[in-house]
Structure 1
């Protein structure tokens, strides 16, 4: 299941950006928000992929 951007509701197929509360944003929305989470005000950073 692909993550969904909390701002635009689009499925994220490229880089996922997250704050420390795991809010997920697509790259265009992250750039629009200047890398600041709209929900908590924390920095949005590229999420580390989970490997199994």
Structure 2
């Protein structure tokens, strides 16, 4: 299997598509179209998913 190699490191802050995507996400959050979740909620969801998978085994 051949690995893809990058000639030089990429600076995402110079990538117009990346910047546009980040601005779109910030706009969605600030306008209220998207509601964020806390780190605590993320940890609970991951823990529950792991527990569900362990129970199914």
Q: Tell me if TM exceeds 0.5.
A: no
Relative contact order (C-alpha < 8 Å, sep 6+): which is higher? Answer: 1
Structure number having the greater strand percentage: 1
TM-score (structure 2 length as normaliser): 0.19
TM-score (structure 1 length as normaliser): 0.21
Structure number having the greater helix percentage: 2
